[in-house]
């Protein structure tokens, strides 16, 4: 893991805390952050900036040109499932000011200025409509789950597949993902050789079945990061399955069962086993893909360990002890869930 955040990015971050940086009226500015991005919630829009970081061979935002590339890719990928949520990519530039160059978000009228960063511009949607928040507020019902299962099935039935994508369903590629995840966990001081070996043994014991999934064209360009925080449900009418993985195609080229497993895992993580069961049943009924049940526990276990890894990454970037503790507690919960599903293999 390499964090190369520069003085320029710090300057951009501080500038976007000011209303003067925006080409539209802003009453308040709020910020959110992950291990690889900052999001500025400003009036009717949200602006997402990719941090200047590099995580091995998995993610590389270390140069301005790479961040520009992945901003455009993020917009293209997410418009498929989110339509009007993703507005496009904007330039962040320096323009002459009275005393010094000022950092602003460029609009169609900004013709001058040096580009120092790029951001994904999105429609602002209040966090109260995020699915994890709705679940906590007891505002998710079976009809919401049925609708998500239907949207996901329709997406999976039309999203791209070809020989290049299908190769990622081969056992050797699955093993590579498993090994990479646990190698990273070991570097984060959480070695888990038994869990790694159990998942790899499952692949070896079911090799023919994984090739059947390839022949059945179940390896597709999926969402790749489908959990509760990446779903908005606005007034039970608009559903946004957003934030598809843009930084690494190999994490998105996978069995459709991975998307089902990821959301299923997160529903159980949030203590809603009944919604999890209904979601899986409804998806299989809609897709007629009853065979995915054979590998569902495998993928749930893998996704739980993967989410634990992401939490540990995020904890490293937190400055407050209380936030670090909360994130590490979340990681421990995912470790326990991953271990539980190992026992079902």
Number of domains observed in the structure of the chain: 2
Residues 20 and 42 in one domain: yes
The b/e string for 73-99 (b: 16+ C-beta within 10 A; e otherwise) is bbbebbbbbbeebbeebbbbbbeeeee
Interatomic CA distance for residues 226 and 131, integer angstroms: 11
Residues 151 and 182 in one domain: yes
Residues 114 and 142 in one domain: no
Q: Are 273 and 281 in contact (CB under 8 A)?
A: no
Residues 97 and 6 in one domain: yes
For position 58, what pLDDT does the model report?
A: 87
Residues 32 and 156 in one domain: no
Residues 83 and 165 in one domain: no
Residue that finishes a domain, picked among 76, 108, 124: 124
For position 97, what pLDDT does the model report?
A: 77
CATH code at position 308? 3.90.1200
The boundaries of the domain holding residue 323 are: 129-342
For position 28, what pLDDT does the model report?
A: 96
Asked whether the whole model's pTM tops 0.75, one would answer: yes
Residues 59 and 138 in one domain: no
Interatomic CA distance for residues 244 and 147, integer angstroms: 19
Residues 70 and 35 in one domain: yes
Residues 115 and 133 in one domain: no
For position 37, what pLDDT does the model report?
A: 95
**SS3 sequence, the chain?**
CEECCCHHHHHHHHHCCCHHHCCCCCCCEEEEECCCEEEEEECCEEEEEECCEEECCCEECCCHHHHHHHHHHHHHHHHHHHHHHEEEEEEEEEECCCCCCEEEECCCCCCCCEEEEEEEEEECCCHHHEHHHHHHCCCCCHHHHHHHHHHHHHHHHHCCCCHHHHHHHCHHHHHHHHHHHHHHHHHCCCCCHHHHHHHHHHHHHCHHHHHHHHHCCCEEECCCCCCHHHEEEECCCEEEECCCCCCCHHHHEEEHHHHHHHHHHHHHHCCCHHHHHHHHHHHHHHHCCHHHHHHHHHHHHHHHHHHHHHHHHHHHCCCCHHHHHHHHHHHHHHHHHHHHHHCCC
Residue that finishes a domain, picked among 124, 158, 175: 124
For position 57, what pLDDT does the model report?
A: 83
Residues 101 and 246 in one domain: no
Residues 234 and 149 in one domain: yes
Q: What is the pLDDT along the chain (345 residues), one digit of tens a residue?
A: 455 458 999 999 999 999 999 999 999 999 998 889 999 999 999 999 999 999 888 899 999 999 999 999 999 999 999 989 999 999 999 988 766 788 999 987 777 789 999 999 999 999 999 999 999 999 999 999 999 999 999 999 999 999 999 999 999 999 999 999 999 999 999 999 999 999 999 999 999 999 999 999 999 999 999 999 999 999 999 999 999 999 999 999 999 999 999 999 999 999 999 999 999 999 999 999 999 999 999 999 999 999 999 999 888 878 888 989 999 999 999 999 999 999 999
C-alpha distances in Å from residue 232, one per residue of 7, 73, 131, 146: 34, 21, 6, 15
For position 101, what pLDDT does the model report?
A: 80
For position 319, what pLDDT does the model report?
A: 80
Interatomic CA distance for residues 70 and 37, integer angstroms: 12
Residue that finishes a domain, picked among 95, 124, 153: 124
Residues 109 and 139 in one domain: no
Residues with Cβ within 8 Å of residue 66, at least 6 apart in sequence: 60
Interatomic CA distance for residues 265 and 228, integer angstroms: 10
């Amino acid at each position: 893991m390499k964090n190369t955040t520069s003085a320029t990015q710090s300057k951009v971050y501080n500038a976007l805390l000011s209303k003067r940086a925006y080409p539209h009226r802003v009453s308040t500015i709020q910020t959110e952050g992950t291990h690889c991005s900052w999001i500025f919630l400003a009036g009717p829009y949200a602006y997402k900036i990719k941090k200047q970081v590099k995580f091995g061979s998995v993610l590389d935002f270390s140069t301005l040109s790479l961040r520009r590339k992945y901003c455009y890719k993020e917009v293209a990928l997410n418009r498929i499932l989110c339509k009007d949520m993703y507005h496009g990519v904007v330039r962040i530039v320096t323009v002459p000011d009275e005393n010094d160059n000022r950092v602003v978000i460029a609009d169609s009228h900004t013709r001058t200025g040096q580009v120092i960063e790029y951001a994904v511009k999105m429609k602002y949607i209040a966090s109260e409509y995020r699915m994890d928040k709705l679940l906590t507020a007891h505002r998710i019902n079976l009809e919401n789950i049925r609708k998500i299962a239907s949207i996901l099935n329709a997406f999976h039935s039309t999203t791209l597949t070809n020989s290049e994508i299908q190769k990622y369903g081969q056992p050797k590629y699955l093993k590579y993902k498993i090994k990479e995840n646990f190698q990273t966990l070991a570097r984060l001081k959480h070695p888990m050789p038994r869990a790694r070996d159990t998942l790899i043994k499952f692949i070896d014991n079911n090799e023919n079945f994984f090739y059947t999934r390839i022949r059945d064209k179940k390896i597709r360009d999926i969402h790749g990061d489908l959990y509760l925080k990446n779903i908005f449900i606005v007034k039970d009418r608009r559903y946004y399955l957003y934030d598809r993985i843009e930084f690494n195609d190999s994490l998105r080229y996978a069995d459709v069962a991975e998307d089902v497993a990821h959301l299923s895992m997160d529903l159980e993580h949030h203590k809603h086993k009944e919604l999890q069961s209904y979601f899986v049943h409804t998806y299989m009924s809609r897709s007629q893909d009853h065979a995915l049940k054979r590998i569902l526990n495998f993928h749930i276990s893998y996704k739980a360990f993967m989410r634990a890894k992401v939490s540990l990454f995020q904890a490293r970037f937190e400055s407050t002890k209380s936030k670090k503790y909360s994130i590490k507690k979340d990681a421990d919960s995912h470790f326990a869930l991953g271990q539980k599903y190992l026992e079902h293999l």
